[in-house]
Chain A
Amino acid sequence: MTADPLSRVFSALADPTRRDMVARLASGDASVGELARPYDMSVQAVSKHLRVLEDSGLVTRTTDARRAPVHLEAKVLDLMTAWIERYRREAEERYRRLDDVLRDLPDRPGTTENDPTTGAAP
Chain B
Amino acid sequence: MTTTGTHETEIVVPTDLPIVRILREFDAPVAKVFQAHVDPELFARWNGPRNLTQRTEHWDVRTGGAYRYVHVDPDGNEYAFFGSVHEVRPDELIVQTFTYEGFPDGVSLDRLRFEELPGGRCRLTATSLVDSFEGRDGFVSSGMEVGIREGYEQLDEILAES
Using a CB–CB distance below 8 Å, which chain A residues touch chain B?
2, 4-7, 9-11, 13-16, 19, 57, 60, 73, 75-76, 79-81, 83-88, 90-95, 97-103, 105, 109, 112, 114-119, 121-122
Contact = CB atoms under 8 A, between A and B. Distances in A.
Contacts, number: 157
B60 A105 contact: no
A80 B133 CA distance: 14
* The 8 residue pairs across chains A and B that have the minimum distance between CB atoms: A97-B46, A102-B28, A92-B9, A10-B137, A119-B62, A98-B46, A7-B134, A88-B11
B61 A98 contact: no
Interface of B: 2, 4-5, 8-11, 13, 15-16, 20, 22, 24, 26-28, 31-33, 35-36, 38-40, 42, 45-47, 49-50, 59-65, 88, 90, 124, 133-134, 136-141, 143-144, 147-148, 151-152, 154-156, 158-159, 161-162
**A91, A99, A118: which has the most chain B beta carbons within 10 Å?**
A91
Nearest to B120: A107
Contact of B151 (A6, A16, A115): A6
Contacts of B38: 112, 114, 116
B64 A119 contact: yes
B48 to A, nearest CB: 8
Contacts of A122: 40, 59-60
The main secondary structure of chain B at its interface with chain A is mixed
Nearest to A95: B24
Contact of A83 (B5, B35, B151): B151
Contact of B90 (A4, A6, A15, A117): A117
Interface of A (DSSP majority class): helix
